[in-house]
Structure 1
Amino acid sequence: MGMVGQLNHRGLAELAKVYGGLCHLKVGQVHMVAVSTADMARQVLQAQDNIFSNRPATIAISYLTYDRADMAFAHYGPFWRQMRKICVTKVFSRKRAESWASVREEISSLIKTIDSKVGSPVNIGEIVLGLTKNITYRAAFGSMSQEGQGEFVKIMQEFSKLFGAFNIGDFIPWLGWIHGQEFHKRLARARGSLDGFIDKIIDDHINKKNNKNCKDDDFVEVEDDMVDELMEFYDENGAKDDQKSSISITRDNIKALIMDVMFGGIETVASAIEWAMAELMRDAPSPPSDPPPPPRDGPDTVVDGYKIPAKARVMINAWAIGRDESAWTEPNTFKPSRFLDNGAPDFKGSNFEFIPFGSGRRSCPGMQLGLYGMELAVAHLCHSFNWELPNGMKPNEVDMNDLFGLTAPRAVQLVAIPSHRLNFPLF
C-alpha cells in the first residue's frame, strides 16, 4: 500500500527501469501488470489481443456505465461489436457531416474570441477546453439543448472524479465498508443527475421525431445529432422480428454511449492541443504526457515467458513506451521532425512505439474526428497569431508538470499573449 503513490505513468516507468518492460505488482487482492516497452505492448495488443480484449471495471465504473452498457467497458463479444459498429458508422463517420462541420465552425468562433483579446493574456487551457466542450456537446445533442451545457459539464466533472477516485473496496473487498457508504451515495447522486438530464433530452428527441413524422404545421426542421442517430438505430433493431438479432439499444445504452463520447472527446483533445501549444513555446521541450490506456484483463496466459494470472489488470503505459530509449533517439526531446524520417512510426496502431489511440480491438473509434479537431485548432492558433509568454517569462520557465488522471492534463494551465501574425484582418 505504500507504493500506491507510484501507480501512475511516471512511477510505473521508474519501476520499469529496475524490473523491465513487464512488471507484476499485487495491490490488495488485485494482480496488476505494467507494460512499458513497445515489444511487450505488441505481444499484449497484437499477438494476444483476443486474450486481453476485455477491460476490468471498478465499482464506480460498473455503476456509472449502467453495468457496462457502453462501448468502452463492455466485454468483448456480440454486444460490444454492435456498440462499436454504431460508433463507427453513426457517430464518428465522415458521412455524418454535422460532426465535422461543428469542428470548423467552433474553431472559427474561437479565433474570433481570441482576436478580440489581442494584446492581453489568454488562458489557452481554458479556451481550448471550452472549444472541445462546445464541439462535443453540439455533436451529441445538437442545437436544441444548448441551454443545459453548464449543468451537463458539472455532471461529467463529478463522473470524472468518481472514475479516478481510489476506493479500497476495489482492491480489498472486505474493507469496502471503510468509506463505501458515502462513496455509494456519491455514485447514486451522480448517476441520478445524468438520468434526469439525458432522459429529458431523449424525450425531446422522441417528440422531435414524432413531429417530423406527423409533419405538424409548427414543425421546424433541425439537423440530426448523435442522439437522433442512436434513436434511429434503436428503432431499427426494435422493429425487427428476426430472432438472430438479439441486441437492442436501450436508454441506458444511449446514456452510456453519450458518456463515452463526452469523456473521449472533451478532455483528451483539449489536453493534446494545450500540450502542443506549450511545447511550441519552449526552448528545450519534452514530449507531452499520455496516461496508461484503460487496463485489460483475461484468462491465465504467458507473455514473453512470464505467466500472467487470470483477471490481472494489464496496463499499457503509453507514457513510458514513448520515452523508451531502446525505441527512440533523444526520447525526452520534443522533436516533431523525427516523424518526417523514412520509416518513422505512425499512430494508427501498427507501430507500438507510438500508440496514443491504442491498438487492436479496443483502439479508439473516434481517432479521425479527434485528430481533425486537434490539428485544425493548432493550425489556426499558430497561423492566425504570434504568441508570447506573459510577465517576461522565459520559454524554459514554462511549468511542464502534469496531473495524473484520465488524460494526464497539465498541472498549470498555459497562459500566453496573442498578437496579430497576418497583415490583413482575420474577419
Structure 2
Amino acid sequence: MACELPWLLWITLAVAAAPVCYYFVFVIASTRGGAHHRQPPGPRQLPIVGNLLDLGDSNNLHQGLANLARVHGPVMMLKLGLITTVFVSSRDAAWEAFTKHDRRLAARTVPDTRHALAHSERSMVWLPSSHPLWKTLRGVVASHVFSPRSLLAARGHRTRMVRDMVDCFRRHADAGQEVEIGGVVYGGLFGLLTNVLFSVDATAASIFRELMEEVVMLLAKPNMSDFFPFLRALDLQGLRRFTAMRMGRIFQILDGIIERRLDDAQQQQKHDGKDVLDSLLELVSVGKLTRRDVRTLLFDILTAATETTKTTVEWAMAELLRNPSVMATVRAEIMAKATATTFGGGRNKADAENKQQLQIMDEADVANLPYLQAAVKESMRLHPVAPLLLPHLAVDHGVEIGGYTVPKGATIFFNSWAIMRDPAAWDRADEFLPERFLSKPELNMSGKELKFIPLGSGRRLCPALPMVELVVPFTLASLLQAFEWRLPQGMSAEELDVTERYTSKDILVMAVPLKAVPVAVAHYT
C-alpha cells in the first residue's frame, strides 16, 4: 500500500519530516559535548521551533533576551527554529569576543530577503570581512564618503538641512502646535543624504523616498525562511519576491541618476559642487568599482543612515524633556557658546547687536559643548538604536567566549542594550546621567571600550560613525538653540512615555512617537 501513495503525498511527508529529522540528528547530537567543548547554556529547546517561544514579546526582544541572560548567563545559546544562535550580554564577554575572535566573527548571517536581486553578494553590509570586495568598499566609504575631507565638503548641506528643520518647527511654533519631532528630522536627514550623495533635493526625491521606506519595511518583516532554511526555495511569504520588485524600481532610479551624470560628463556639463557620486564614478573610470557597486553603495547608505540617525535624535530629545534639569544645563551651555561666537571671535559685534539676533550655531562650535556631547552619549547608552547590532557569523571552529565553545556556523548577536546597562560596568546603570561621560574621554563611539558600543566594535564597526558624531549633536544643538521645548497639553516630565519598542527593522524606537511644542526664541534666526 505504501508504494501506491501519490507522489505529491510523498513529497508532503518528506517536507513535514525534514525539520523533525534535523532536530534529532543535529540538535540532540550538538548537546552531547565533552568537557573540552562545552557549549553555552540556554533554556530547554523544543522540537522544530527550538526556543522561539522563549523570546516572549517581540516588541521587547532586547529586554527579554537580557532577562534570559540573567538566568542562563552572559553567553547563552538558543535555537531559533533550526538556527543555532549565541547571545552575548556582558562587557567582559563582549571584550573576549571582539579582542580574541574578531576575525572569526566578522562575517554575517544573511537574512533571506537580502538575497533579493543578489544584493548581499555586492553589499558592504552583508559581505564577509574577508571578501576582497568588502575591503574595497569599506576603503571607498572611509576615503570618499565619511572621510574628514568629504564631511567638510558637505558642511554646507548639513547647515541647510538644519535651517530647513528649524523653519519647519518654527511654523508649528508660530501656530502653537505640537509636532512629531521624528517625522521632521527624518525628512531633513533624507534630503541631506540625497543632496550629499547625488545632488537631488528632498522634494525631487519624494517618490524615491516612498520606495525606500517600502523596501525597508519589507526587509524588516519576520521571515520564516530565516528560521527554517529548507523553506527558502519556496519563499512562502513572498518577501524575497516583493523585495526584489521594489528594489528593482529603486535600482532603476539610481541607474537613471548615474546614467545622467555620465552623460553630463561626456558633454562636459558641470553641476554645482562635487558630490559623492562624482567621486565614486571616478573610481569606476579607473576600474576600482563597477557601476553596480556604485548603485549598491548608494542604496546601502540611504537605507542604513536615515532611520537610525533620526531615531537617535528623537531618543536624545525625549531624555532631555524627561530630565528638565539636564535640558536646562544643556541649553545654558549652548546659549553661552552661541552668544560668545556671535558677539566675539572676530565677528561684527555692532551689526549683530543692531539685528538683536543670534546666528545659527556653527557646526565646529558644537564640538566644544562637552555637556551636550555627554548627553548624546548617555542617550545612546540607554537607548542604542540597534540594540542587538547586526548578526555576526562564526566562520571557524575554535571560538571560545566565557569558557564556552561557539559552534561553527552559529549566528552571534551582541545585546548592546544589555551590555551598556551592565551593572558590573556602570554605576546606577538605568539612570540618565550625562555627567558620567564628562571625565572619561576614552568613552567615545569607536567601540574600543567594550562597555560602550552604540555603533558596534571591531571590523564591523558602523562606517558612518564620523557622520553620526557630527550630525546628531549639531541637529540637537540647533533645535535647542532655536526653541524652548514643552510637552503637550500640560504633560509633566514624569508622564512622558519612554517605553521602548524593538521593531522588526532591528531598530529600537519609542513606542509612542515623541511630540512636543516648540516655542521660538525671539532673538534666533
Is the pair's TM-score, using the shorter chain for normalization, greater than 0.5? yes
Deviation at 1:274, TM superposition (A): 0.6
- More off after superposition, 187-196 vs 282-291: 282-291
RMSD of equivalent CA atoms = 2.1
2:276 aligns with 226
Deviation at 1:179, TM superposition (A): 5.5
1:203 aligns with 259
Return the letter of the residue paired with 1:299: D
In the comparison of the two structures, how many residue pairs are matched? 408
Deviation at 1:361, TM superposition (A): 1.0
The answer to whether the aligner puts 1:330 opposite 2:386 as a matched pair is: no
1:132 to 189, 194, 215: 189
Deviation at 1:364, TM superposition (A): 1.4
SS at match of 1:180: coil
* C-alpha distance in structure 2 between counterparts of 1:264 and 1:48, whole Å: 26
The answer to whether the aligner puts 1:413 opposite 2:513 as a matched pair is: yes
1:370 aligns with 468
> Is the 8 Å Cα contact of residues 65 and 256 (structure 1) preserved in structure 2?
no
CA shift digits 1:20-65 (9 cap, x unpaired) = 1111111122111111111111112222111111111011112266
Return the letter of the residue paired with 2:307: E
2:445 aligns with 347
The answer to whether the aligner puts 1:263 opposite 2:361 as a matched pair is: no
SS at match of 2:413: strand
The answer to whether the aligner puts 1:104 opposite 2:159 as a matched pair is: yes
SS at match of 1:418: strand
1:117 aligns with 172
Q: CA distance change for structure 1 residues 385 and 76 in 2, over 3 Å: closer, same or farther?
A: same
Q: CA distance change for structure 1 residues 64 and 160 in 2, over 3 Å: closer, same or farther?
A: farther
* C-alpha distance in structure 2 between counterparts of 1:62 and 1:175, whole Å: 14
Return the letter of the residue paired with 1:173: P
1:85 aligns with 139
* C-alpha distance in structure 2 between counterparts of 1:220 and 1:139, whole Å: 16
1:397 aligns with 495
Deviation at 1:120, TM superposition (A): 2.1
1:308 aligns with 406
* C-alpha distance in structure 1 between counterparts of 2:209 and 2:118, whole Å: 17
2:110 to 57, 72, 75: 57
- More off after superposition, 113-122 vs 318-327: 113-122
Larger RCO, structures 1/2 (Cα 8 Å, 6+ apart): 1
* C-alpha distance in structure 2 between counterparts of 1:221 and 1:191, whole Å: 27
SS at match of 2:126: coil
* C-alpha distance in structure 1 between counterparts of 2:417 and 2:270, whole Å: 49
The answer to whether the aligner puts 1:24 opposite 2:77 as a matched pair is: yes
1:240 aligns with none
SS at match of 1:2: helix
1:191 aligns with 247
CA shift digits 1:128-171 (9 cap, x unpaired) = 1111111112112214x655422222222222222222221222
2:293 to 228, 249, 253: 253
Return the letter of the residue paired with 1:258: L
* C-alpha distance in structure 2 between counterparts of 1:365 and 1:89, whole Å: 11
From the CA coordinates, give the structure whose radius of gyration is larger. Answer: 2
Deviation at 1:288, TM superposition (A): 2.4
Return the letter of the residue paired with 1:384: A
The answer to whether the aligner puts 1:299 opposite 2:369 as a matched pair is: no
* C-alpha distance in structure 2 between counterparts of 1:319 and 1:39, whole Å: 14
1:74 aligns with 127
SS at match of 1:32: strand
* C-alpha distance in structure 2 between counterparts of 1:42 and 1:84, whole Å: 23
Map 1:148-163; keep pairs closer than 5 Å. Answer: 148-163=204-219
> Is the 8 Å Cα contact of residues 90 and 229 (structure 1) preserved in structure 2?
yes
Return the letter of the residue paired with 2:490: G
Report sequence identity in percent: 28
> Is the 8 Å Cα contact of residues 94 and 100 (structure 1) preserved in structure 2?
no
CA shift digits 1:357-392 (9 cap, x unpaired) = 211111112111112110001111112211111111
Q: CA distance change for structure 1 residues 221 and 132 in 2, over 3 Å: closer, same or farther?
A: closer
Deviation at 1:181, TM superposition (A): 6.0
> Is the 8 Å Cα contact of residues 37 and 320 (structure 1) preserved in structure 2?
yes
SS at match of 2:248: helix
* C-alpha distance in structure 2 between counterparts of 1:164 and 1:5, whole Å: 18
* C-alpha distance in structure 1 between counterparts of 2:56 and 2:198, whole Å: 39
* C-alpha distance in structure 2 between counterparts of 1:220 and 1:397, whole Å: 54
> Is the 8 Å Cα contact of residues 13 and 36 (structure 1) preserved in structure 2?
yes
CA shift digits 1:4-34 (9 cap, x unpaired) = 5456212111111111111111112211111
* C-alpha distance in structure 1 between counterparts of 2:209 and 2:271, whole Å: 27
* C-alpha distance in structure 1 between counterparts of 2:116 and 2:402, whole Å: 35
